[in-house]
Amino acid sequence: MVHNLDVIIKHAEQNCKSHGARLTIKRKQVLASLVQSEKALSAYDLIELYLTNFGEKIPAMSVYRILDFLENENLVHKLNLANKYVACSHITCSHDHGVPQFLICSSCNQVKEITINKSTIAELKSNVEQAGFHLVTPQLEMNCICHTCLSTAA
């Protein structure tokens, strides 16, 4: 997903520090698990991975609290379609990006984060307002099949 785990964690720590928050050891470990994963993970996937990687059991409520913290710090994204989480692919970037959109393989759960131009989202928001609704979040999640799963099925 991204180049160097240490660099990503350092950027995440600096991001948290700039907001007056702390990236604790467990938060770092959960974030590292998501960064290293090639697919979206549920809280329960993370509990199993945590036990495997760090030899320690972590309660579900702790994982959910950690995920909430990481999401609020814009370090992870919750995928509502899959009810899973992915690390933000722009943790080490310092420049502005468009609105994140997610392509989710319904077969293997691989996730690709792409960005959509802000003007496209503004047009979508306008259409939503004209239809008598209010856009709560511009995040789009698209149910897809990745090329690997598509070629395996053929």
Q: Please give the average per-residue pLDDT across 10-28, as a whole number.
A: 94
pLDDT at 30: 97
Phi first, then psi: what are they for 4, rounded to 5°? -110, 120
Reported as a pLDDT band with limits 50, 70 and 90, residue 77 is: very high
Annotation: CATH topology of 5-87: Arc Repressor Mutant, subunit A (1.10.10)
- Residue by residue, what is the 3-state secondary structure of the chain? CCCCHHHHHHHHHHHHHHCCCCCCHHHHHHHHHHHHCCCCECHHHHHHHHHHHHCCCCCHHHHHHHHHHHHHCCCEEEECCCCEEEECCCCCCCCCCCEEEEEEECCCCCEEEEEECHHHHHHHHHHHHHCCCCCCCCCEEEEECCHHHHHHHC
| Sequence ranges of the chain with CATH classification 1.10.10.10 | 5-87
pLDDT at 54: 93
Domain covering 99-153: architecture: 2-Layer Sandwich (3.30)
Question: Is a pLDDT exceeding 90 seen at residue 153?
Answer: no
| Sequence ranges of the chain with CATH classification 3.30.1490.190 | 99-153
pLDDT at 51: 95
Question: Is a pLDDT exceeding 80 seen at residue 41?
Answer: yes
Q: Which pTM was predicted?
A: 0.82
Question: Is a pLDDT exceeding 50 seen at residue 108?
Answer: yes
Q: Please give the average per-residue pLDDT across 147-153, as a whole number.
A: 90
Give the count of beta carbons closer than 10 Å to the beta carbon of residue 105. 20
Question: Is a pLDDT exceeding 70 seen at residue 97?
Answer: no
Higher pLDDT, 46 or 91: 46
